[in-house]
Amino acid sequence: MTRWWPFGLALAAAGVAGVVLDQTRGLLDLEVYRYGGRAALDGLPLYGGRDPVTDLPFTYPPVAALLMAPLAVLPGVVASSLWTVLSVGALVAVVGIAVGEVGRRVRGPGPRDPASSGLGRSAARRRSVVARFFGRGAGASSRNRPEGAGSRDPGWACRPSSAAAVVGVAAACVVLEPVWLTLAFGQVNLLLMLLVVVDLLVPDRRWAGVLVGLAAGIKLTPLVFVVMLVLVGRRTAAGRAVGAFLVTVAVGFVVLPGTAWVFWSEAISDPGRVGGPAYAGNQSVYGALARLLDGEPPRVLWVAVAGVLAVGVLVVAARVWRSGDRVLGTGLAGLSMLVASPISWTHHWVWALLVGVALVARSWRWGLAWAAVFVAAPGWWFPHGAEREHDWGLAAHVVGNAYLLAALVVAAWAAWWVRPGSGGRGRDAVTGVDREHALDGA
């Protein structure tokens, strides 16, 4: 048990960080969540009002307010510390699952001799490096066991021997702007990502799909992953996700009937409830168009552009997932969600973490270039706020939409890799082994 000390140290540090944040700048979004929880407990209107501390509205479905109610009864500093611990724990868990999944692929079936596998020297060298970092301590070997349904390879779960490495990678991920901003604001993003990642990357879960439905019930955008489950052939899991989502909706109507009616009939379609779309921090297609057109874009234009791009990215994500790279596929599906959403604040882009892990396993240069975008956060380099984004020049529009453009570039590269006849589909780019990833079927 002593070998698990890195996890304990990370959570202890998170608890202290939560106290420091609470006493210095405050966790703004956590305050809004607690406001929603208090309103649910006291039977007060949840929508239409604003949190008196932050002057921000509660924008999530009613069931989210019910889940936040326990935080509302805790002292602020305790809630901040606990929430930060949960968020950091989710970050470490996501990293551990992603690294373990890459390790499972590295240790997968196939010849180890480059000559017999068709690998060149550079590919073999890359595989060796990736295997040393991702493969060790990430579960039992599965080289003699088929993938897919029925496989009991626990590759998603890191061993104690790799605990320090996983915590180290998670700590490095904190420099990514979406991650540290999520922690600084007390946002729910990392916890929602964990729910989705468990359902899509942890094998042999009897109730796979339920956590995706729960995530969608808390925040609607994860509904994209229901479509993802259908596209990769996991229709049973998709059905469970829909069922779990409908249960969250029903719970809202049973416990808070009036509030639920207001949300689903009015608040859900109010564009002003989530802030100005042209703000530099909105790294979605809608935000890019709003900045370019000096105002909110016509709905037809937004739906046409965002719809084509988001569907394209999601289809690529499914093809990548089916080819064997489930980490990159899941990350790309998360990016498609951000492309489609009218509001995708920079702290929503925590899905870049999964894409980064997958890219590092393929190419250090690609991985570092991807990470550099989310460390530098170019969207903030130009005048922003008070509608100054409307004065941006061409260079500012290009660089200032870096998150969105980087996502589209990586999706285009992935589409090229898995295009029919390329040899990418069915050939694992890390291991070099020709194989079509078996569907989970669940």
Q: Which pLDDT does position 438 carry in this prediction?
A: 38
Cα–Cα distances (Å) from 413 to 42, 69, 240, 391, 426, in that order, read 51, 44, 32, 32, 16
Does any domain span residue 134?
Answer: no
Q: Which residues contact 421 (CB under 8 A, 6 or more apart)?
A: none
Q: Which pLDDT does position 417 carry in this prediction?
A: 85
Alpha-carbon distance of 164 to 171, in angstroms, equals 10
pLDDT at 122 over 70: no
Does any domain span residue 358?
Answer: yes
The range of the structural domain enclosing residue 288 comes to 275-429
| Percent of the chain topping pLDDT 90 | 57
| Contact in structure between 204 and 233 (CB atoms under 8 Å) | no
For residues 261-272, b (16+ Cβ closer than 10 Å) or e, as one string? ebbeeebeeeee
Cα–Cα distances (Å) from 384 to 29, 152, 160, 276, 375, in that order, read 21, 51, 45, 12, 18
Q: Which pLDDT does position 437 carry in this prediction?
A: 38
Average pLDDT, the chain: 83
Q: Which pLDDT does position 267 carry in this prediction?
A: 81
Band (pLDDT 50/70/90 cuts) for residue 300 is very high
Alpha-carbon distance of 117 to 436, in angstroms, equals 15
If one counts the domains in the chain, the total is 1
Average pLDDT over residues 338-367: 93
pLDDT in tens, 422-433: 555 444 444 443
Q: Which pLDDT does position 128 carry in this prediction?
A: 52
Which of 128-137, 211-220, 363-372 shows the lowest mean pLDDT across its residues?
A: 128-137
| Contact in structure between 194 and 210 (CB atoms under 8 Å) | no
Q: Which pLDDT does position 89 carry in this prediction?
A: 93
Burial (0-12, 13-18, 19+ Cβ within 10 Å), 122? exposed
Does any domain span residue 292?
Answer: yes
pLDDT at 80 over 50: yes
Does any domain span residue 126?
Answer: no
pLDDT at 370 over 80: yes
Alpha-carbon distance of 50 to 204, in angstroms, equals 43
pLDDT in tens, 40-58: 999 898 998 898 988 899 9
Residue 117: closest CA among 106, 132, 102, 129:
106
Band (pLDDT 50/70/90 cuts) for residue 333 is very high
Q: Which pLDDT does position 127 carry in this prediction?
A: 53
Q: Which pLDDT does position 2 carry in this prediction?
A: 57
Does any domain span residue 318?
Answer: yes
Does any domain span residue 216?
Answer: no
Does any domain span residue 406?
Answer: yes
Does any domain span residue 435?
Answer: no
